[in-house]
Amino acid sequence: MSKPQNNRLLRPETLTAVGITAISAALLVPTFGMRAMSALLPAAMLIGLIGLSILLLLSDQRKAAANEEAKPMTQAPKRVAGAFLLVVAYALATDFVGFYASTVISIPLVAWVFGFRHPLGLAAATLVVVGSIWLIFDFGMSQEFPSGRLWEK
C-alpha cells in the first residue's frame, strides 16, 4: 500500500521558497525609487535572496518529482518562531533607537539564542560586524543609517 500523494506545492521548502521570493520581490520595488548608491546594497541582497529561493524551489520540486518525502522544515519550531520575532524586534528597534544601537544589542543576542555562549567571541563578532559596517558604509561611502525616532527632534 502506497502513501497518499501530497500536493507538490504544499511542501514546506516549496512554500518557504515561494514566500521568500514574494516578500523579497515586494521589498525590491521601493529600491527603484532610491538613489543608486543607497539602493545598491538592499537591491543586491534582495536579488540574491530571490535567486537562492528559486534554487531552493527548483531543488524541492525535483525531490517531489522523484517522490522523496518532504522533511519538516525544522526540528525546533519554537526556535524558528523566536528568531523571526527577534528579526521583527530588530527592525522596530532600528526605527526607534537607531541602527548601531540595535545592531550592537541584536548580534550577541541572536548568537546567544542560537547557542553561542563565549563572551569574548560574542564581543569580537559584534565589534567586527558593526565596525565593518561603519567602516564600509558610513566612513567609506558616506551613507547615513537610521538614528532612531527616539533621538530625533
Quick one: which of 99, 70, 50 has its CA closest to 7?
70
- Closest to 97 measured CA to CA, from 41, 148, 24, 59: 148
Say which DSSP state 2 is in: P
State the 10-residue block means of pLDDT for the chain, 153 residues long. 66 90 94 87 90 95 92 77 87 92 93 88 95 89 84 76
Structure confidence at residue 6 (pLDDT)? 66
pLDDT for residue 113: 82
For residue 99, what are the contacts with CB-CB under 8 A and spacing of at least 6? Answer: 145, 146, 147, 148
pLDDT for 153: 67
pLDDT value for 39? 84
User: 37 and 141 in contact (C-beta within 8 Å)?
Assistant: yes
Domain ranges within the chain, ordered by starting residue: 1-72, 74-153
Rounded distance between C-alpha atoms, residue 40 and residue 101, angstroms: 23
C-alpha cell recorded at residue 153: 527632534
Task: Enumerate the H helices of the chain as residue ranges.
Answer: 12-28, 36-65, 77-97, 99-113, 119-133
Say which residues have a Cβ less than 8 Å from residue 104's Cβ, sequence separation at least 6: 126, 130
